[in-house]
Each structure stands twice: as C-alpha cells, then as structure tokens.
C-alpha cells in the first residue's frame, strides 16, 4: 500500500476518537511506591516549556526524583535503571542509575543495553509500514497474501472477515497470545507460522482485542519474506541505524557486549534464556537509543533531518484502529501503540508501549501533542510497576511547569475527537 492508498484508508477509518482507555496517572511513582507526596501539576496546561526552560525543569525533576529512584531500586531489588526524556529534537535528561552488572560492579548508563521485551513491537510495526509506503504490501490485504506459510484452524466462519496485516498490527486478528512451546529456545521465529497450523484462533478477526506476541512474530516473518533480508538485518539497517539507534539490536541469545545489563530476580542474577519471538520481544535497547526513536516519532525526522516515515503513515500509526469494536470498551489501539486520552493529566493523547521479559521491564510513552517522550528501562524481574509509574511521574512533572507553546510543526497532531469524552481516572 503506497502513500496514496494509505491516505484513503485513513479517511475510511473516520475522523475522530470515540473512546479512550481508562487510566490512572495520579497513583504516582513517589506516592504509591514510596509513600511520599508527589508533585502534581494543574489542569490548565496548554504545552510544555520552551527548550531552555524545559532543560531547567528536567534538571529540577532529576534532582527531586533521584533519591526516590534509588529508594525504589533498593526496596524492589532493581540493580539498574536507565531513563531518557526528550522534547521534540532535544534530549532533556538521559542517565543511568545503579548497576548493570552487580558482580562486576559495572554502572548502568544511558547507553546500557537492556532486554526491552515488547518495545520490539512499535519497531516491527514501523518496518511493516515502511514496506506499505513502498507499495510492497497493502496492510488491508490478508496476511496470507504475503505469508502463504501461515495458516491456523478456526471454529468460526472467517469467510467474511479475513486476518489482515492491519488486524494483526492492531491485535485484532483473533490469534493466540503466545505459542508457548519453544518460546524460550533458539528455534528460529519463522517456525511459528508452521506451528500455528495445529492451533486455533481465539476469536473471529476484529471481534475483540486479543494481544498477540505470535501475531507480531508473523509480522516479522512477513518483513523478512517481502524484503528478502533476514529480519534482524532489515531492522538494524533499515529501521534502527537510520534512526541513530547505534547500539540496539534484535538478538535471540544474550548480546555479547560490555554495555549489556544482566537480569536479576530477587537480587540474584538470572540465566538469560534465548528468545524465539524476535519481532515481538527480542529487542535489546538502550535508553539513549529509545530517545532517538521517540524523537523521530515526535518530529517525523531521523537524525540530521533525514525523512523517517511519511506524515500520513505516522498519523495512521497513532490513530485509533478499533473505533467500531464495541467489545473493546475503552481500550484504544493504534498500529504498534496503545492510545489514551489524557493518560497523563493535561498531556492530551498518550501513545505508549511497555515491555516485560524475564529479568527486565521497560516503559515508553509519547505525548505527540506536547512533543514529549520518556522511556525507562530496568534489569529487575517484576519491576514493571516501577518503570511505568516513573515514566508517568516524569511526564506529569514536566507538564506541571509554566507552559510556553511549541513552535508550529514540532509534533504530530492527531485527529480531532468527534464526541465529547468523559474523563475518568481511577487509582
């Protein structure tokens, strides 16, 4: 699907957002985890500060949160964490805390590589959309058009609704969440397409949201087959390196580098198992590299001003794909991203994705209307609540500063909502 076709598809999906995920961000990192009072911003926020004031605000936030981060690391036995905060093309804060390797007493830095789990999915989605821009695929065609090796049993009548590339990107293909047999092995991820022949779909396509690692593994297989390049090489050469993600890689086994964090559970080092499903969960990334990725998503430009994706493609990735799926209730998904309305109070639309894998957790949030993005990585098993709440707290605090509007074009503006929305937050 080329750019022209993509634009027509966007029109077909409507002009508004009719539902949003219910989320609490006021159960803030400091207050919930540490029993301390969190700084909360007002509700009349229009935009983040200008560049100089944003850096000053970030320095204050760093000073305030550093002792809380260290306390949380001690309380929840998280040896190392890394943080990055960006505003448009500026890096406001990029730093590591604690240790990437306890035995070796190697410090965590912004360049430390962590297993980032499902943060692989937004990048895999970008690879798919690159091929769509080039006219190599049409995301509204059945997945089997480009991946004939894939088939799966179904108890449902699928003659009317096929499993399309788009439905898999948006977790609405009805596919199983995981193919657990062989997941933690060095088996090639391309085996999933064959193994699914003996499995059943969970739902008819587009009936209800059904998160699927298996689905994103199939999308990686599609990228490999259509591009003619091994998936990992395509991701590194066509996606990550052009974005300036110089250290990040897709690898099944542990990455051999001094910059790699070791994983821990209850303070003890874990043996890191191979990961079969690379396109769904096989990313190893640094905070600094995720900052560059977020900058590209926010500005539409890679380093040195190189084009990243067409504006229409970026808008489509951050547009609701499930407006007409009643069973999804208030859950809203884009292509590779989860979407929320005011998930961060005063922040407008939030695009986010998290990652949890053995020994590691990660969280990445974008506020496209404000030009802000944050990512947090940790090498402690079960640390997802910490990474999530810290990321939310950082954005909440940066928005609490006195607003000065961003320059025109310094951010992606999503579609206007069609209906008034009732904002509901719960803790």
- Per-residue burial over 278-290, b = 16 or more CB atoms within 10 Å of its CB, e = otherwise: bbbbbbbbbbbbb
The candidate with the shortest Cα–Cα distance to 113, out of 226, 240, 15, 297, is 240
- C-alpha angle with apex 370: 366 to 372, nearest 5 degrees? 40
What is the predicted pLDDT for the residue at 406?
Answer: 40
37-71 pLDDT per residue, tens: 333 333 333 444 477 888 999 999 999 999 999 99
Chain CA centroid to CA 24, Å: 19
What one-character DSSP code corresponds to residue 25? -
**Does residue 418 have a pLDDT over 80?**
no
- Residue 115: its pLDDT value, please? 97
How far, in Å, CA of 17 to CA of 318, rounded?
11
305 Rama sector, left if φ>0, alpha if ψ -120 to 50, beta otherwise: left
Q: 350 with 340: CB under 8 angstroms?
A: yes
The pLDDT assigned to 53 comes to: 86
So what's the pLDDT on residue 153?
94
Helices (H), 155-199: 165-169, 191-195
* Residue 254 confidence (pLDDT) above 90: no
Find the angle CA(113)-CA(119)-CA(123) to the nearest 5 degrees. 100
The per-residue pLDDT for range 128-148, each reduced to its tens digit, is 999 999 999 999 999 999 999
Q: Are 391 and 375 in contact (CB under 8 A)?
A: yes
Helix (H, G, I), strand (E, B) or coil at 417: coil
Q: State mean pLDDT over 96-118.
A: 97
28 pLDDT more than 70: no
Across-strand partners of 342?
Answer: none
Write down the mean pLDDT value for the chain. Answer: 84
| CB atoms inside a 10 Å sphere around CB 233 | 12
Instruction: Give the DSSP letter string of 188-205.
Output: -TTHHHHHGGGSB-SS-T
- Non-local (6+) Cβ contacts of 270 within 8 A are 262, 263, 264, 358, 359, 381
Give me the residues paired with residue 90 across strands: 87
Residue 88's closest CA among 299, 309, 245? 299
pLDDT score for 195:
96
Question: Class assignment of domain 3-399?
Answer: alpha beta
pLDDT over 70 (residue 112): yes
Identify the band that residue 304 occupies on the pLDDT scale cut at 50, 70 and 90: confident
pTM of the predicted structure, to 2 decimals: 0.84
Identify the three-state secondary structure at position 57: helix
Q: Helix 3-12 crosses helix 120-133 at what angle (to 10 degrees)? A: 110
**pLDDT at site 416:** 31
The answer to whether residue 26 scores a pLDDT higher than 50 is: no
């Amino acid at each position: 699907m080329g750019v022209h076709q993509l634009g027509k598809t966007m029109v077909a999906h409507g002009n508004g957002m009719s539902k949003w995920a219910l989320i609490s961000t006021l159960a803030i990192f400091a207050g919930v985890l540490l029993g301390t009072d969190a700084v909360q911003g007002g509700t009349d926020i229009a935009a983040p500060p200008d560049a100089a004031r944003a850096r000053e605000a970030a320095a204050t936030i760093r000073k305030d949160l550093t002792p809380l981060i260290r306390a949380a690391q001690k309380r929840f036995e998280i040896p190392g964490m890394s943080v990055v905060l960006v505003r448009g093309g500026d890096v406001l804060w990029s730093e590591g805390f604690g240790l990437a390797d306890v035995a070796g007493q190697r410090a965590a830095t912004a360049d430390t590589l962590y297993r980032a789990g499902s943060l692989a999915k937004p990048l895999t989605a970008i690879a798919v959309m690159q091929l769509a821009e080039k006219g190599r695929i049409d995301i509204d065609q059945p997945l089997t058009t480009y991946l004939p090796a894939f088939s799966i049993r179904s108890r449902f009548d699928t003659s009317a609704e096929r499993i399309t590339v788009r439905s898999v990107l948006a977790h609405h293909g009805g596919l199983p969440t995981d193919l657990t047999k062989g997941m933690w092995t060095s088996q090639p991820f391309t085996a999933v397409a064959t193994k699914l022949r003996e499995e059943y779909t969970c739902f008819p396509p587009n009936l209800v949201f059904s998160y699927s690692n298996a689905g994103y593994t199939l999308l990686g297989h599609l990228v490999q087959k259509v591009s003619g390049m091994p998936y990992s090489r395509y991701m590194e050469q066509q996606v990550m390196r052009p974005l300036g993600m110089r250290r990040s890689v897709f690898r099944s086994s542990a990455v051999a580098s001094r910059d790699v964090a070791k994983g821990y559970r209850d303070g003890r080092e874990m043996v890191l198992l191979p990961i079969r499903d690379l396109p769904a969960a096989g990313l190893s990334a640094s905070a600094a590299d995720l900052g560059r990725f977020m900058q590209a998503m926010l500005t539409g430009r890679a380093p040195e001003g190189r084009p990243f994706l067409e504006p229409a493609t970026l808008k489509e990735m951050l547009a609701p794909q499930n407006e007409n799926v009643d069973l999804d209730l208030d859950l809203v998904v884009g292509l590779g991203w989860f979407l929320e309305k005011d998930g961060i109070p005063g922040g407008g639309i939030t695009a986010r994705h998290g990652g949890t894998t053995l020994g590691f957790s990660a969280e990445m949030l974008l506020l496209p209307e404000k030009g802000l993005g944050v990512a947090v990585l940790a090498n402690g098993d079960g640390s997802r609540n910490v990474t999530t709440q810290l990321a939310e707290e950082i954005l909440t605090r940066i928005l609490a500063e006195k607003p000065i509007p961003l320059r025109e074009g310094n951010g992606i503006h999503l579609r206007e909502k069609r209906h008034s929305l009732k904002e509901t937050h719960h803790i």
